[in-house]
Structure 1
Amino acid sequence: MTTRTRLPGSPSIILITGLMAAGKSTVAQALTERFPRSVHLRGDVFRRMIVSGRAEMGFELSDEAERQLRLRYRIAAAAAHLYLHAGFTVVHQDIILGPSLAEVVQHYAPRPLHVVVLCPDPAVVAAREAGRAKRGYQDTSAVLDFDRVLRTETPRLGLWLDTSGLTAAETVDQILARLSDARVDGGSTG
């Protein structure tokens, strides 16, 4: 059963990030559904729009993959701004790890932003990955590589949630209850 939490009084942008199989899509959709006027902005859709010349994403990125990833982040932020201006709360969900998180926060300046980092235990991520139809990791060691980047190279911005033992609904309840902890000013990254 979901807890009734007071929603923010005005539209806002909530950025949800974390590893592949951390539950971003499920949590973002469930969170978006709690708002009366809302948009679930899936950052990966902008990658999939590239029909010809799309670079492969992985742990090691080529120069072209890095350029396309940065473009995807800029396009998503621009779309989020437009939806926000039209009166929607935007839940932008994407994989944004390492120093890129601070760069993406800058795309939202000067508007305030809420950043939520889902960081379940790597064993939980590996188990979730095993239960999914799509594959994001080649093996368990890849999960550990990405987890290391998350925990040691990603700036501690916003609200970090260990969702290892939480359902999607419980995670959404936590996000809404602690939304003030997730607030990051778009122009400030530290």
Structure 2
Amino acid sequence: MKINFILTGEGSSDLRLVEHIENILIQNGFDEASGEAPDLGRLVNPPGRTVREKLIAILQYYPDIDAIFVHRDADGTGTAAREQEIALACGGIAGLPTVIPIIPVTMLETWLLADQDAIKRVSGNQNNQGQITCIPGLNRLESTRDTKTLLLEALCEASAAQGGAIGKIQKALL
């Protein structure tokens, strides 16, 4: 069985989540999983920032998808409030495929920091055999502050880029 999906989220770091979702879907019985995380802000008429506006735009531009994954950080509101926000956003939208909330309790960047191989792939240097030294141990990740900056640092380290190349990486990710 094959599944095609769209991921919509909160920022550019969410784009790296597609591969993880594809892997999880395959591990859970799908023969093939194909996902995209389009930058809806680049559309001729970009949608607003609400979940509902994004869902309507996705349905318009991707009418044949099987599912939409909606990433929203729990932040200070909590998981239940985010689930309710997503459910309310879906109300009354005809033809909407299955909508699956992704609501990490800690920031997505913290989750990504736990996967050094993924960081190496995203950095363009998947052949890097070394450890990424700027990442603290798993037992300290959840208490790490400013994980976005740490993830950027890890991507730069994993890429083995130097000088101006680091600036290009930072610009591409911010």
Q: TM-score range by the shorter chain?
A: 0.3 to 0.5
Taking structure 2 as the reference length, the TM-score comes to 0.36
Larger-Rg structure: 2
Which of the pair has the greater relative contact order for Cα pairs under 8 Å at 6+ separation? 1
Taking structure 1 as the reference length, the TM-score comes to 0.34
